[in-house]
């Protein structure tokens, strides 16, 4: 694939792209989170429920309607979605900086990997954050996801904290 065939587009509630890509996005979101859960087995209670697809659709519709809070980018090859970046402005109440860019997800279809699709999504996502005066970014990475560790390290991200979990209920 020639990466110039990939076009990165910002999905908003009023540009018609959501209607075009929501089905792919929801399927992919489930896949991405399930994969992440598999690779971060210490948080064993975490799950997504595919039967709640309709509710999840509404959650994302609500998110993208908040234009200054959410950045959903889709990488299109023609009219076919191939990857996404989901960034959310996170309010760090009473801290400085008070807002950080939380990268909720970055995903590329397996057949399109290692062709810089994620890098292009990432660059556009960071550009969106900067246009919103957000200059600090954070995300969670599953412990066993080598590709994610490599990707984020290559972008300059460093490991700064470890998340400790306890579950008292099955």
Ligand X SMILES: CC(C)(COP(=O)(O)OP(=O)(O)OC[C@H]1O[C@@H](n2cnc3c(N)ncnc32)[C@H](O)[C@@H]1OP(=O)(O)O)[C@@H](O)C(=O)NCCC(=O)NCCS
Q: Which residues bind ligand X (CB under 6 A)?
A: 32, 35, 106-108, 113-119, 139, 141, 145, 147-148, 150-151, 154
Q: How far is the CB of 169 from ligand X (least distance, A)?
A: 27
Q: How far is the CB of 91 from ligand X (least distance, A)?
A: 21
Q: How far is the CB of 36 from ligand X (least distance, A)?
A: 6
Report how far residue 154's alpha carbon sits from residue 104's, in angstroms, rounded to the nearest whole number: 18
Q: What is the CA radius of gyration of the chain?
A: 16
Task: Considering the complex, state which of residue 114 and residue 170 has its C-beta at the smaller distance from ligand X.
Answer: 114
C-alpha dihedral over 11, 14, 62, 104, to 10 degrees? 10
Task: Considering the complex, state which of residue 13 and residue 145 has its C-beta at the smaller distance from ligand X.
Answer: 145
Task: Considering the complex, state which of residue 38 and residue 67 has its C-beta at the smaller distance from ligand X.
Answer: 38
């Amino acid at each position: 694939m020639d990466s110039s065939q990939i076009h990165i587009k910002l999905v908003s509630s009023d540009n018609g792209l959501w209607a075009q890509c929501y089905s792919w996005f929801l399927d992919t979101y489930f896949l991405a989170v399930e994969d992440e859960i598999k690779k971060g087995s210490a948080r064993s209670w975490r799950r997504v429920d595919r039967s709640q697809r309709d509710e999840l659709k509404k959650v994302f519709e609500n998110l993208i309607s908040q234009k200054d809070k959410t950045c959903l980018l889709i990488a299109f090859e023609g009219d076919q979605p191939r990857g996404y970046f989901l960034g959310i402005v996170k309010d760090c109440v009473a801290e400085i900086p008070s807002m950080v860019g939380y990268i909720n997800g970055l995903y590329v279809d397996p057949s399109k990997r290692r062709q810089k699709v994620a890098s292009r999504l990432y660059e556009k996502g960071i550009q969106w954050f900067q246009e919103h005066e957000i200059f600090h970014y954070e995300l969670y990475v599953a412990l066993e996801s080598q590709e994610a560790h490599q990707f984020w390290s290559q972008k300059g991200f460093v490991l700064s904290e470890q998340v400790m979990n306890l579950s008292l209920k099955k």
